[in-house]
Amino acid sequence: MKKFYLRTMGCQMNDHDSEVIRGLLLSQGYDETEEAEEADLILYNTCCVRENPERKVYGNMMNYKRLKEARPNLIIGICGCMTQQKEELQNILAQLPHVDLVFGTHNIHRLPELLARAEGGERVVEVWDEAPYDEEGQDFRESLPVERGHRLKAFVNIIYGCTNFCTYCIVPYVRGKEHSRLPESIIAEVSGLVEAGYKEVTLLGQNVNAYGKDLSIDTSFSRLLAELNAIEGLQRIRFTTSHPRDMGPDLINALASLEKVCEHLHLPVQAGSSTVLRRMNRGYTRESYLELVRQVRQAVPGIAITTDIIVGFPGETEEDFAETLSLVEEVRFDSAFTFIYSPREGTPAARLPDQVPEEIKKERIYRLIELQNRISSEYIQSMVGTHQEVLVESTDDQGLVGRTRTNRQVHFAGSEQLLGELVTVEITEAGTWTLRGKIVQPQG
């Protein structure tokens, strides 16, 4: 039997695309392997949001050259966001002559045919500029096989693409314009998952808050949440990512009132200075972000708010950066993903004259990480002694592993029969990122 080795970079959208790629490859009679050395197909699902992971792809691909020399029938493929950039695609084709299968984010469904052609010895390159939709707005992704990474919690796309055009970001250029799935398709998918034993869904989109705005029917993200909340047997609903600009009172209300919607909000702030935010084209100010956080916390006490922050955006001064630090102090995020600004060709910010020198960017990110680590650790320590609702998701060599509603991982002793159940856990110990506890309900 032929084997594939699949490596996935980037965000949860890519993780989910890889679940579809797995489904397609298994349906073609391939089996998965964790060892590139023994694979008949090596496939990289790439990300281009920053430069570092891109470099890694080139580095790793160079290493596969000798595998290909030893086994000429080996197929080496690249897909995902990197291939959607025209110049990058040309670089891939020119610099990596041993790569023989290239496809994009809009034509994953074509993989079986493209693979068959590559197996026939052809160098196959097929990247589409847009996703194909029929007249009802349905697209190819509706009917593809999916091999999910977990059997209790699942990713569900609700909106594809992004049309926000934050000035630093490449995503709108590689993922196309915003396109919401029809509510009935999403509800059918989630109902099917629940019937198959799934307990939790994470709704995915670059900006889930914009859900429905592109559809001709009258719907919205908060309404979709309410409809999903009504599905019997479903226990938890999560979603990511929320754009602060599109976070209206109806959504805050949904977070507060729908019992299955978990108390966790990923609300990327990107920067603490209103001047920088304006140049990023984020559509909110420092003050309006802080006000939004206040409203959310008032409506949903105890909610975990996490964020993304970029340091060293072009023109960011020491004063601007100090405003990021003070915003982080003020909000006290549960955790934060922090990034050094990485110029992306074709985006407006990459052309700005006052790029921040690398040493300054590094020095700033260290200061930011230090601050956030202190806050995160205070936050996690404060959970010791509390009782938390935990969904038992998996087992490890020491017992059970689950997550709190606020998305913190907890380890505790208990029987495997509790897999998929909600239990109450008393937190007894906190590490840097994860918690230990003991079951108090049902008795462990």
**Interacting residues toward ligand SF4 by CB under 6 A:** 162, 164-166, 169, 171-172, 206-207, 243
Q: What is the size of the binding site for ligand SAH (CB under 6 A)?
A: 17
The stretch among 6-14, 190-198, 272-280, 351-359 that binds ligand F3S (CB under 6 A) is 6-14
Which residue from 286, 344, 364, 405 is in contact with ligand SAH, where contact means CB under 6 A? Answer: 344
Nearer to ligand SF4, 270 or 404 (CB): 270
Residue 163 corresponds to which tokens in the numbers above? 């049309």
Q: Are 312 and 341 in contact (CB under 8 A)?
A: yes
Nearer to ligand SF4, 324 or 388 (CB): 324
How many Å apart are CA 203 and CA 238, to the nearest integer? 6
Considering only residues 182-241, where is the footprint of ligand F3S by CB under 6 A?
Answer: none
What pairing do the DSSP bridges indicate for beta strands 387-396 and 422-430? antiparallel
Across the beta sheet with 335-340, the strand order is 264-266, 304-311, 335-340
Task: Decide which of ligand SAH, ligand F3S, ligand SF4, none touches 13; Cβ closer than 5 to 8 Å per partner kind.
Answer: ligand F3S
Task: Decide which of ligand SAH, ligand F3S, ligand SF4, none touches 81; Cβ closer than 5 to 8 Å per partner kind.
Answer: ligand F3S
The dihedral through the CA atoms of 170, 24, 138, 233 has a sign that is negative
Could you say whether residue 11 binds ligand F3S (CB under 6 A)?
yes
Could you say whether residue 174 binds ligand F3S (CB under 6 A)?
yes
Which residue from 5, 160, 168, 321 is in contact with ligand SAH, where contact means CB under 6 A? Answer: 168
The stretch among 166-174, 354-362, 395-403, 411-419 that binds ligand SAH (CB under 6 A) is 166-174
Task: Decide which of ligand F3S, ligand SAH, ligand SF4, none touches 172; Cβ closer than 5 to 8 Å per partner kind.
Answer: ligand SF4
Nearer to ligand SF4, 244 or 444 (CB): 244
At its nearest, how many Å lie between ligand F3S and the CB of residue 302? 29
At its nearest, how many Å lie between ligand SF4 and the CB of residue 256? 24
Which residue from 6, 166, 171, 234 is in contact with ligand F3S, where contact means CB under 6 A? Answer: 171
Helices (runs of H) and strands (runs of E) counted in the chain: 12, 19
The stretch among 10-18, 36-44, 252-260, 322-330 that binds ligand F3S (CB under 6 A) is 10-18
Q: Are 27 and 108 in contact (CB under 8 A)?
A: no
Considering only residues 74-93, where is the footprint of ligand F3S by CB under 6 A?
Answer: 81
The stretch among 67-75, 91-99, 165-173, 316-324 that binds ligand SAH (CB under 6 A) is 165-173
Residue 277 corresponds to which tokens in the numbers above? 């935010």
Q: Which amino acid is present at 203?
A: L
At its nearest, how many Å lie between ligand SAH and the CB of residue 70? 38
Which residue from 8, 17, 45, 50 is in contact with ligand SAH, where contact means CB under 6 A? Answer: 50
394 DSSP 8-state letter: E
Which residue spans within 207-333 are E strands per DSSP?
Answer: 236-240, 264-266, 304-311
Q: Which helix (H) or strand (E) holds 40?
A: none
Q: What are the backbone angles phi and psi of residue 123, rounded to the nearest 5°?
A: -85, 115
Task: Decide which of ligand SF4, ligand SAH, ligand F3S, none touches 344; Cβ closer than 5 to 8 Å per partner kind.
Answer: ligand SAH
Q: Are 269 and 307 in contact (CB under 8 A)?
A: yes
Q: Are 302 and 406 in contact (CB under 8 A)?
A: yes
Nearer to ligand SAH, 171 or 262 (CB): 171
Nearer to ligand F3S, 48 or 390 (CB): 48
At its nearest, how many Å lie between ligand SF4 and the CB of residue 17? 15
At its nearest, how many Å lie between ligand SAH and the CB of residue 311? 9
Q: Are 240 and 204 in contact (CB under 8 A)?
A: yes
Measured CA to CA in angstroms, residue 266 lies from 20, 62, 209, 310, 419 at distances of: 25, 36, 11, 15, 26
How many CB atoms within 10 Å of residue 198? 22
How many Å apart are CA 53 and CA 216, to the nearest integer? 38
Three-state secondary structure call for residue 341: coil
177 DSSP 8-state letter: S
How many Å apart are CA 324 and CA 285, to the nearest integer? 12
Q: Are 187 and 231 in contact (CB under 8 A)?
A: yes
Binding stretches for ligand SAH (CB under 6 A): 49-50, 168-169, 171, 206-207, 241, 243, 268, 270, 308, 310, 339, 341-342, 344
Binding site residues, ligand F3S, CB under 6 A: 10-11, 13-14, 47-49, 81, 171, 174-175
